[in-house]
């Protein structure tokens, strides 16, 4: 596998993925309130900006610029400086103007090419799904959208909110976009007695080998980190440990 991997900035996750997210993959990250999904997106951009000197692009389908920048500042980024140096770009893209995105040379594509953007985070993708009343229309729009994102050539994280699914089943986002994306990472926060336990699970990741389980994670002021990752690798393995999808 001669793939290039893009480091996520999430402690432990790159090891789980055997190096990082395969370059160019479009990855859905979903979870409920307080599971750290926005933090995931920010750490992903931060990793590129801080350690690889990349330009990071943050797109939102909702008016979220201010709270997002404030949140990123809390994670230790010098937002003001980064914006002045054009290393962090924030675009609010109202869903009402979504059609624009489907043109040949859309604004984001132009920006990606001009600024040599390698990483994009779209947070949240949810309003996109809520635009369509018919399931069929939504599926078609999502396919068109994913195909558009692929043109950008970036490694892209799409932040989604959890839809309905049963406890032992495969998680689903409201958008359902994970079924056509290259990867799907799910963040959970389950009650176990009167305690809660945070988890991160790779449900699918094209061109990757990964353990098929929920990993314990922690969220501190430095962001998300996987726990005991090494230890787990030595533990007894009841089921097979690798997926390739």
Q: Which of residues 131-190 bind a copy of itself (CB under 8 A)?
A: 131, 134-136, 139-140, 143-144, 146-147, 150, 161, 166-170, 172, 178-180, 184, 189-190
The minimum distance between CB 141 and a copy of itself, in angstroms, equals: 11
What residues contact 48, with CB distance under 8 A and at least 6 apart? Answer: 6, 9, 54, 55, 56, 118, 119
How many other CB atoms sit within 10 Å of the CB of residue 146?
16
Name the strand (E) or helix (H) holding 191: strand 183-192
**Segment near a copy of itself (CB under 8 A); pick from 40-48, 83-91, 100-108, 193-201:** 193-201
The minimum distance between CB 85 and a copy of itself, in angstroms, equals: 25
The minimum distance between CB 194 and a copy of itself, in angstroms, equals: 4
Long-range contacts of 232-239, Cβ-Cβ distance < 8 Å, separation of 24 or more: 239/212
Q: For the window 78-97, what string marks contact with a copy of itself as x by the rule CB under 8 A? A: -----------------x--
Q: If binding is defined by CB under 8 A, does position 73 make contact with a copy of itself?
A: no
Residues 224 and 40 sit within 8 Å (Cβ to Cβ): yes
The minimum distance between CB 142 and a copy of itself, in angstroms, equals: 10
Q: Binding to a copy of itself (CB under 8 A): which residues in 20-59?
A: 32-36, 39
Q: If binding is defined by CB under 8 A, does position 98 make contact with a copy of itself?
A: no
Q: If binding is defined by CB under 8 A, does position 99 make contact with a copy of itself?
A: no
What residues contact 21, with CB distance under 8 A and at least 6 apart? Answer: 5, 6, 8, 27, 155, 183, 205, 208
Query: In a 10 Å sphere around its CB, with 0-12 CB exposed, 13-18 middle and 19+ buried, how is residue 243 labelled?
Result: middle
Q: Which of 15, 80, 81, 196 binds a copy of itself (CB under 8 A)?
A: 196
């Amino acid at each position: 596998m001669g793939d290039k991997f893009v480091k996520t900035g999430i402690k432990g996750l790159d090891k789980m993925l055997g190096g990082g997210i395969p370059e160019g993959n479009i990855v859905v990250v979903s979870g409920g309130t307080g599971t750290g999904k926005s933090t995931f997106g920010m750490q992903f951009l931060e990793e590129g900006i801080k350690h690889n000197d990349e330009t990071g692009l943050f797109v939102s389908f909702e008016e979220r610029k201010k709270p997002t920048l404030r949140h990123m500042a809390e994670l230790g980024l010098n937002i003001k400086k980064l914006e002045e140096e054009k290393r962090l770009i924030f675009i609010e893209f109202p869903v009402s103007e979504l059609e624009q995105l489907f043109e040949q040379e859309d604004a984001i594509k132009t920006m990606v090419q001009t600024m040599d953007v390698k990483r994009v985070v779209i947070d949240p993708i949810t309003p996109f799904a809520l635009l369509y009343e018919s399931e069929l229309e939504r599926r078609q729009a999502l396919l068109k959208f994913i195909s558009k994102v692929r043109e950008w050539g970036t490694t892209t994280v799409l932040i989604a909110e959890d839809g309905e699914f049963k406890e032992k089943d495969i998680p689903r986002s409201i958008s359902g976009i994970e079924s056509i994306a290259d990867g799907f990472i799910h963040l959970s926060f389950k009650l176990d007695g009167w305690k809660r336990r945070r988890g991160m699970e790779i449900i699918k990741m094209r061109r990757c080998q990964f353990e098929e389980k929920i990993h314990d994670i922690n969220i501190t002021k430095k962001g998300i980190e996987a726990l005991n990752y090494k230890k787990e690798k030595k533990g007894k393995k009841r089921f097979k440990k690798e997926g390739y999808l």
